[in-house]
Structures are given as structure tokens and as C-alpha cells.
Amino acid sequence: MRREQHSGVWYGELLHRALSFTGLLAGVVVCCELFSRRASPLLGDYAEWTYQGVLLRNLLQGHADAAYLLKHYPVPNSATTIGLGLLMLFLPWQIAGKVWLSSGIVLGLVSALQLQRATGTTERWQLLVFTGGAILGTAFWFGFENFLLGTFLAVLFAALLLSGLTTQWGFGAMLVVTFFCHMIPFGFALALLFFYAVQNRRWRLLWQMIPSLLLTVGYFVGRAMHGNADAQAGMVESVGYGTPMFLAFKANSLLKNWGFVNPAYGQHDSVLLLIVGKMLFLFLLVLNLTIALAALVLLLRAAWQSYRGSSADRFLWFTIALFAFVGLLLPGAAAGISDPGGRMLQVAIWCGILIVSTRKQWTASVLGLCAFGLLVANCVLVQRVALKPPINGSSSNALPAHVREFSHAYYAHAAGDYISVTDGQMTQRIFPTAMFLNNTSAQ
């Protein structure tokens, strides 16, 4: 009996090590896929960030385009533009775009491993779920690179706090960098530092918030003085509170974050459904739903246990609970941010999933294997969809529209920005939330 038990534990540990390795391998595979083709990846908004990187490079080289104005105040959502613009000073724009994207994948993996190490998490299925849902999930396909970078920095921020790092202004510097990535992960990091200082009575740490808070004040004052263009970017219409549509909208915000990627090129046309067929499409959807429901139970249980106990990560769970609660209440668009509630929920669950655990070995194995299936499908999609022109065909009659639309990541429109960059025709309209503005007088 003892020998069988020892064997079972050994096989369980072997499976967890394999799952951890697979999560890391998926990131490496996608990075290799990006550089395996000359084409730039069709990942939603990322094409526009690449476009704006060219604008910044031209500006730094003294060839500013008259159709655009650079904002004269600190702007969140600008880290990718700055990073790409600097890389393009010595790299072709196609290569710079792939280097920056790969760097984001590496940062995501490093931050996840650091948080698990800081919390002493020994299970490894969480890393696989995080890789599929956060690093390579729908936000990756939508091209929300600034949001992802900010989220990874927030995860790393939590890891450094939990490890008891003593620093003069290291946390303050990280807050400044996170501010330039995205406001929501920045707010999450601020809340982490505040609750950590309260829990551990380290009040002097709060002084490190001052530089980033001054940047925040400068941002809101600057946008107010320049016509508040940043608030005109909401792309998701709000629905009435308490209505079935609002509840469905919030349910989708939870369910779309676990690795199921469904690229689309039309209102109801699913590229994934067209490629893999109806049965495999539904199978992958079931894998996603399985992870979502099981992870929700684990997250709620872990948050309750942390509340009842006096664990060192209590401040982290308090921040997660706060952002999840507020995220479930916010409308579809607010303060110039599309679906702020969904993104608050994403930061919360992606941070929480890395540190939850389950006492049942089979539960961890099921979650890991489900995440593995979604990761394999995602890597195939990067090669067959993200690095190729839009695929012709229709999936309109295969499944009901609400199923085909689940977790869509629109990508085909991005090709236009790459064509404009290649041809040197820098006349596209750009996001109001970016560090550049359209110069209407020049257009």
C-alpha cells in the first residue's frame, strides 16, 4: 500500500512538472512562430501600436508627420508605442514588433513564476492556465499589449511585496512604469501597496506612490485642458443594470479569460469554427467552461480562507476581491476605457489563479489537461491565422450566433495598418487614448 501511494505521488509530481514545462514551452513556441514568417502578426490592436511606433520613430528622427500631434502630458497606454519607437531606431519595424511582443510573453512567464515562488505554490497547473488565459489568450489576440504588460508588472509587483523585498524607491519606480502601461493594472498595483502597508504597518512605503500619483493628476489635468479626447474611445456600449443582457455581458467577461480563442473576420463568422469544425470547436469550448467554473470555486474558497486566517498574502486577496467586485458592477465603457469592469476582473482572476491550490490531485490534473488542450489549439491558431491573410469562407450556419461569437478576437482589420506602414502612408485615424492625437486641421 505504501509503495502504491508513493508511486501515485511520484506520478502526480511528474505530471505537474510536465504541465509547468508545457506552459513555458507554449510561450517559446509562439515566439518562434512569430519569427518563422516575414509577415507581421494580425493581432487586433497590436497592428495600430506598431503603426504608432513608426510615428514615434519618425518623430525622434526629425520626420514628424503633420497629420498627428504628440500629447504634451503623461499618457497611460503608451508603453508599447515608446518601446516600439525606440526599438525601431535600430531594427526594421517588422522585427521590432515581434521582439516587443516576445518580450511581453517572457515578462508574463517570469512574473507568474515569481509570484508562485513568493507564495510557495507547489502545484503547476496554475501556470498552464495563466499562460493560456492571460499570456496567450483573448487579450493577446485583441492586441491589448499595454494592458497585458501592466498586468504582468502588477503580478510581479505582488511577488516582490510577498517576498518582503526591502527597497528605497523600487516600488515607486515600478508604479511609474505600470502607469505608462495601463490605468487598470496601475490601480491594482496601487491597491496592493496600500493594503500591504496597512497589513504590515509599513506606512513609509506609501510615500512611494507619490511620483505615479503626480503623473495621474498630470494626465487627467492634461486631457481636460486638451479637449478630453481620451474619453471618446469607448467601444463597448453599456447595457442596463440588472437586465439579462448585462448579466450575460458580465458572465462573458468571466468566461472568456481561460484560454479559448475564437478569431473572427465578420460579425458572426468564426475562423476557429471554420478551421477545426463543429465538434472540435465545441470540445474546446467545453474545456474553457470546465476551467472557468472550477477556477471560480477555487478562487472563492481561497479568498474566504485568506479572510479567515492571518496569512501573509491576505492583502493580495483583499485587492483581488475588491477589483472583482467593482469589475462586476462597472458598465461597458467608462472614462475612455472599453469594458473597464472586464479588465478589472481579468487582473484580479489572473493574479489569483497563480496562487490557488486544490487538495484533490485529480482536480489539478483535469484543469492542467484542459489548459493543455486550449494551449495547443492556440499555438496552432497563431501559425494558421495570426500569421496569414484573412481566411475566406463562412461558418454562419454551423452553430447559433451567440455560440460562434463567444470569446471572439477580431483580427482582419489590422492588415490595413501594416499596409499603410509598408507604403509609408501614415494617414490612418488612431486611438484617442494613445500618446498621439489626430491633427484634424491637417486632414
The 10s digit of each residue's pLDDT in 107-162 is 999 999 999 888 887 777 888 999 999 999 999 999 999 999 999 999 999 999 98
User: Would 437 be classed as within a structural domain?
Assistant: no
Band of pLDDT at residue 4, cut at 50, 70 and 90? very low
Residue 237, C-beta contacts closer than 8 angstroms, at least 6 positions apart: 332, 333
pLDDT tens, residue by residue, 151-166: 999 999 999 998 877 6
User: Would 27 be classed as within a structural domain?
Assistant: yes
Check residue 413 and give its pLDDT.
74
pLDDT tens, residue by residue, 264-317: 877 778 888 888 888 999 999 999 999 999 999 988 888 888 777 777 888 999
- Residue 249 DSSP SS3: helix
Check pLDDT > 80 for residue 349: yes
Check residue 149 and give its pLDDT.
96
- Residue 166 DSSP SS3: coil
Residue 59, C-beta contacts closer than 8 angstroms, at least 6 positions apart: 65, 70, 85
Band of pLDDT at residue 8, cut at 50, 70 and 90? very low
> With b meaning 16 or more CB within 10 Å and e meaning fewer, what string describes 134-170?
bbbbbbbbbbbbbbbbbbbbbbbbbbbbbeeeeeeee
User: Would 86 be classed as within a structural domain?
Assistant: no
Check residue 214 and give its pLDDT.
95
* Spatial separation of the C-alpha atoms in residues 345 and 220, rounded to whole Å: 24
pLDDT above 90 coverage of the chain, percent = 39
User: Would 69 be classed as within a structural domain?
Assistant: no
User: Would 443 be classed as within a structural domain?
Assistant: no
User: Would 357 be classed as within a structural domain?
Assistant: yes
Nearest C-alpha neighbor of 388 from the set 231, 263, 238: 263
User: Would 223 be classed as within a structural domain?
Assistant: yes
* Spatial separation of the C-alpha atoms in residues 321 and 304, rounded to whole Å: 10
Check residue 13 and give its pLDDT.
64
pLDDT tens, residue by residue, 50-90: 989 999 998 998 888 888 888 888 999 899 999 999 999 99
Check pLDDT > 50 for residue 339: yes
- H or E stretch including 263? strand 262-264
User: Would 137 be classed as within a structural domain?
Assistant: yes
Tally the domains of the chain.
1
CA angle, 212 then 188 then 180, to 5°: 40
**Average confidence score pLDDT of the chain:** 85
Quick one: cell of 246?
A: 448585462
* Spatial separation of the C-alpha atoms in residues 430 and 351, rounded to whole Å: 31
- Residue 103 DSSP SS3: helix
Q: pTM of the predicted model, to two decimals?
A: 0.91
Q: Is residue 402 packed enough to be buried (19+ CB in 10 Å), middle (13-18) or exposed (0-12)?
A: exposed
What is the secondary structure of 315-359 as a DSSP string? HHHHHHHHHHHHHHHS-SEETTEESHHHHHHHHHHHHHHTT---S
Check residue 368 and give its pLDDT.
85
| Share in percent of the chain as helix, strand, coil (round to 5) | 70, 5, 30
Check residue 11 and give its pLDDT.
53
Parent domain of 117: 2-39+105-421
pLDDT tens, residue by residue, 385-420: 888 877 777 777 778 888 888 888 887 777 888 888
